[in-house]
């Protein structure tokens, strides 16, 4: 069902391309395939995106901005609250558009082939901000005595892998909601980091988190 106006037709085109790239890979998808599935002729597709790599870049930019939107810190939060809030936002975003996250990950090793140096730099800059956020939160928790000593660099990379990697199996209609999965991940990590025994048992996700897993087994 093609839509009435240009803006939503462009969105539709992007959604179709995202699904095709996720399923067949960017390299394995031709502009003709995109045009066929969206029901437009190729000239119209090129009106919206002058090249296939510009479609991929739009998917990338939105995925990177979505991940960056999960990075929202409130100075009044403890490190555990901030890590949990990041995880909820990130997984909610992935569950809403797992194909976009899939394209992002699947094409990552090859983006220098498709993108200009400036485009690659823009993407890398956003990735660095996400890593630095998670890394910084773990360091903040260590510095304040909230967390055990650990290699915050390695744990930040591991936790980003654990959370972002969920695009492989996280689905909007899955058995557990994105928020429940975020609570499971955060609880496991934070119970492993938090020093204070009563906080660990009773509120590893921070005082505001009203999630049944938080108290489970305590």
Q: Which residues bind a copy of itself (CB under 8 A)?
A: 22-25, 27-28, 102, 106, 109-110, 113, 148-151, 154-155, 157-159, 161-163, 165-166, 168-169, 176, 180-181, 184-185, 187-193, 195, 197, 213, 216-218
Hey, how many other C-beta atoms are within 10 angstroms of the C-beta on 22? 23
**Cβ closest to a copy of itself, residue 113 vs residue 125:** 113
Question: What distance in Å separates the CA atoms of residue 152 and residue 157, rounded to the nearest whole number?
Answer: 8
Q: Is the dihedral of CA 181, 182, 187, 189 positive or negative?
A: positive
Least distance from a copy of itself to the Cβ atom of residue 90, Å: 13
Question: From residue 136, how far is each of 67, 92, 130, 155, 212 by CA, in Å?
Answer: 16, 22, 10, 11, 28
- The CA-based dihedral angle spanning residues 151, 154, 158, 159, taken in that order and rounded to the nearest 10 degrees: 50
Least distance from a copy of itself to the Cβ atom of residue 153, Å: 8
Least distance from a copy of itself to the Cβ atom of residue 158, Å: 5
**Cβ closest to a copy of itself, residue 85 vs residue 163:** 163
SS3 assignment, position 147? strand
**Cβ closest to a copy of itself, residue 27 vs residue 72:** 27
Least distance from a copy of itself to the Cβ atom of residue 130, Å: 14
């Amino acid at each position: 069902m093609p839509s009435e106006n240009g803006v939503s037709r462009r969105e539709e085109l992007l959604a179709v391309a995202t699904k095709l790239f996720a399923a067949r890979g960017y390299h394995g998808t031709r502009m003709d395939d995109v045009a066929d599935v969206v029901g437009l002729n190729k000239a119209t597709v090129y009106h919206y995106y002058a090249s296939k790599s510009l479609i991929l870049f739009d998917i990338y930019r939105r995925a990177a901005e979505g991940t960056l939107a999960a990075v929202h810190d409130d100075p009044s939060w403890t490190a555990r609250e901030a890590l949990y809030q990041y995880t909820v936002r990130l997984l909610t975003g992935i569950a809403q558009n797992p194909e976009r996250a899939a394209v992002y990950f699947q094409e990552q090793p090859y983006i220098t082939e498709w993108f200009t140096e400036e485009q690659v730099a823009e993407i890398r800059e956003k990735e660095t901000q996400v890593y630095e956020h998670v890394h910084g939160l773990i360091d903040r928790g260590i510095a304040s005595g909230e967390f055990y000593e650990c290699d915050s660099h390695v744990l930040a990379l591991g936790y980003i892998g654990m959370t972002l990697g969920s695009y492989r199996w996280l689905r909007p209609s899955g058995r557990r909601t994105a928020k429940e999965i975020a609570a499971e991940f955060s609880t496991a990590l934070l119970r492993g980091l938090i020093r204070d025994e009563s906080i660990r048992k009773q509120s590893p996700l921070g005082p505001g988190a009203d999630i049944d897993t938080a108290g489970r087994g305590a």
